[in-house]
């Protein structure tokens, strides 16, 4: 049903003695019960009229037959029971329809006193909604340019008559739905959303895949660091962040790497994981499935079933763990240029369905049992890897350490040992043996449309520094076992994120070598982390951290004058 045809809600009433009560509008007085029907009126009436006369004729015909054959009238067949039910339903509809229409015509002629009693029964505005003396939302929270037809829908959303999440499907206009939802939210909360942009965004592009019930979008500045010389290629890295000094610091690290001949990277593993949990009646039975899954002779048949989920999905292995009579199965597979969570989940479901025939007593508790492990710090990702496992290294020359990084090799090596290794160990760190890998990962992820929540495991990193060439030069490396990225799917198709991927030369899926774009993006993330680690550690060794943040991460504006 089109929400634009809904009647306008009654306006808030004045306090007693403040004026005349609000009477129903002509549009309200002319409203019929048929306006609430799911089908057009002529179709509904035709349906029930036809049903009434058809079943009436059938029952009369059966009645005559029973009389002629001396069959008791109270003995009913199934068809006669259905016919009687249909007859009663059609009678109830016809009486109810014409009866309600008559009552409504009577209501339209009632006295103002009756109208007052009717209006006060309507739902009130939320008590927390601040109104002026006339009971309306302050003008500053209302959009005076709202079209009249949108105004009716906004009031319907505010009252709860129209669910906010149905606006896109009802209106067929995502931008208009966002504007209506935004205005309704302002009136409901009595809070202004001024400053949150609405225009300039393609709301159709996020429908059904990126964000539900949008009311605008958040602006995050994007800076660039580089050129980053990685594997012989110069790259300019986009970083979306609101932290001052982050881009500048990463840029300095890129400069040091470039001046020293560049960095090199290696992909160690490439496989996304999903681990369902199933339950049996006994631990022995759970162990039987574990042995079956880990038997090399069964792998080929399981891979065929798993790989049906996608032409890019290739099952690599299954690792099982038992807790009592519960079995956790960690599937690992390649996913092409997609990050691959949906792809591997479909493959896992295929295998579970396949296993059900041989293990009918298997109770699938959940498609994910946290042995994956997604969006949580976990030792299994640190040890086994998830997504892309990457190591990136560079040799920074002594002269560059002194002139660009403003410190010396010995100081960096000592600080790395005491901070990133010993300090993290004392803190009980899980995959956090680094200075600030998550800073760079998050900034690159947001800029390129990755899932920011996967920054948790993607930032697992151990930073190593060692003096080489008789202590003159610095060998620095970052090892990151679980970088989870993709160049298709998710937010990678959005205009801004797609532009950043294009800047890196990894936009979309690779036609020549499926998966190469996502693997390259993973190495870029690792190379950027290497640059960020190098620069921050140098700033700490030289005592520059606080000074630089006070200079570049502080606003010079008088904030007190900007406060509302």
pLDDT above 60 for 384 = yes
Nearest to 6 by CA among 218, 159, 221: 159
Q: Worst-scoring range by mean pLDDT, 121-135, 249-263, 275-289, 395-409? A: 121-135
pLDDT above 80 for 195 = yes
Beta bridge partners of 332: 273, 317
Higher pLDDT pick, 104 / 431: 431
Instruction: Name the pairing type of β-strands 461-468 and 432-433.
Output: parallel
* Contact between 395 and 256 (Cβ < 8 Å): no
* Contact between 157 and 8 (Cβ < 8 Å): no
In this prediction, residue 1 carries a pLDDT of 42
pLDDT above 50 for 326 = yes
Higher pLDDT pick, 35 / 260: 260
Q: pLDDT tens for residues 207-216?
A: 988 999 999 9
Mean pLDDT of 40-52: 75
Q: pLDDT tens for residues 197-208?
A: 999 999 999 998
- Per-residue confidence at 5, pLDDT binned at 50, 70, 90? very low
Mean pLDDT of 338-363: 95
Q: In Å, how far are 98, 102, 157, 226 from 33, measured between CA atoms? A: 9, 10, 21, 67
106/98 Cα distance (integer angstroms)? 12
Say whether 246 sits in a helix, a strand or coil.
helix
Q: What percent of the chain has pLDDT over 70?
A: 80
- Per-residue confidence at 71, pLDDT binned at 50, 70, 90? confident
- Per-residue confidence at 330, pLDDT binned at 50, 70, 90? very high
Beta bridge partners of 476: 394, 465
Active-site residue set: 243, 375, 451, 549
Higher pLDDT pick, 48 / 427: 427
190/186 Cα distance (integer angstroms)? 5
Q: CB burial class (10 A; 0-12, 13-18, 19+) of residue 529?
A: buried
pTM of the model: 0.73
In this prediction, residue 8 carries a pLDDT of 46
Q: Worst-scoring range by mean pLDDT, 8-22, 347-361, 417-431? A: 8-22
* Contact between 285 and 325 (Cβ < 8 Å): yes
pLDDT above 50 for 521 = yes
In this prediction, residue 558 carries a pLDDT of 53
């Amino acid at each position: 049903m089109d929400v634009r045809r809904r009647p306008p809600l009654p306006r808030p009433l004045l306090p007693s003695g403040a004026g005349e009560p609000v009477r129903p509008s002509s549009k309200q007085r002319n409203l019929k019960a048929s306006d609430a029907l799911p089908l057009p009126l002529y179709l509904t009436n035709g349906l029930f009229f036809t049903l009434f006369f058809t079943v009436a004729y059938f029952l009369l015909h059966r009645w005559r037959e029973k009389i002629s054959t001396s069959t008791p009238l109270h003995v009913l067949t199934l068809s006669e029971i259905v016919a009687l039910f249909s007859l009663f339903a059609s009678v109830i509809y016809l009486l109810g329809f014409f009866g309600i229409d008559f009552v409504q015509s009577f209501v339209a002629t009632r006295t103002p006193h009756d109208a007052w009693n009717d209006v006060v029964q309507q739902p009130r505005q939320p008590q927390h909604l601040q109104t002026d003396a006339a009971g309306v939302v302050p003008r500053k929270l209302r959009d005076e340019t709202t079209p009249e037809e949108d105004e009716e829908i906004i009031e319907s959303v505010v009252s709860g008559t129209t669910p906010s999440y149905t606006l896109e499907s009802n209106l067929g206009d995502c931008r208009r739905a966002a504007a209506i939802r935004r205005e309704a939210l302002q009136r409901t909360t009595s809070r202004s959303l001024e400053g949150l942009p609405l225009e300039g965004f393609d709301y159709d592009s996020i429908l059904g895949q990126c964000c539900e019930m949008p009311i605008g979008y958040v602006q995050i500045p994007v800076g660039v660091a580089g050129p980053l010389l990685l594997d012989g290629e110069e790259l300019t890295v986009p970083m979306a962040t609101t932290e001052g000094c982050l881009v500048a610091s990463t840029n300095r690290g890129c400069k040091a790497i470039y001046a020293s001949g560049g960095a090199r990277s290696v992909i160690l593993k490439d496989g996304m994981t999903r681990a369902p949990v199933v339950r049996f009646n006994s631990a022995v039975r759970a162990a039987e499935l574990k042995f079956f899954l880990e038997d090399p002779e069964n792998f080929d048949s399981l891979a065929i079933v798993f790989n049906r989920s996608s032409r890019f999905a290739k099952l690599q292995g299954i690792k099982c763990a038992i807790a009592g009579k519960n079995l956790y199965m960690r599937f690992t597979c390649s996913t092409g240029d997609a990050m691959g969570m949906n792809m591997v989940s479909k493959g896992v479901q295929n295998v579970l369905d396949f296993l059900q025939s041989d293990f009918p007593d298997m109770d699938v508790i959940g498609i994910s049992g946290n042995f994956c492990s997604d969006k949580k710090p976990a030792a299994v990702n640190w040890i086994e890897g998830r997504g892309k496992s990457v190591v990136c290294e560079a040799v920074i020359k002594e002269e560059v350490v002194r002139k660009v990084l403003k410190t010396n090799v010995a100081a960096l090596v000592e600080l790395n040992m005491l901070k990133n290794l010993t300090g993290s160990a004392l803190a009980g760190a899980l995959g956090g043996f680094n200075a600030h890998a998550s800073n760079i990962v998050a900034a690159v992820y947001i800029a390129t449309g990755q899932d920011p929540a996967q920054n948790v495991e993607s930032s697992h990193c151990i930073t190593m520094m060692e003096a080489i060439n008789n202590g003159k030069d610095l060998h620095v490396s970052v090892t990151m076992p679980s970088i989870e990225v993709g160049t298709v799917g998710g937010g990678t198709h959005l205009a801004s994120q797609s532009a950043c991927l294009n800047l890196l030369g990894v936009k979309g899926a690779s036609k020549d070598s499926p998966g190469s774009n996502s693997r390259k993006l993973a190495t870029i993330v690792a190379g950027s982390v290497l640059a960020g680690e190098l620069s921050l550690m140098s700033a700490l060794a030289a005592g520059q951290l606080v000074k630089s943040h006070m200079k570049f991460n502080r606003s010079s504006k008088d904030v007190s004058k900007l406060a509302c």
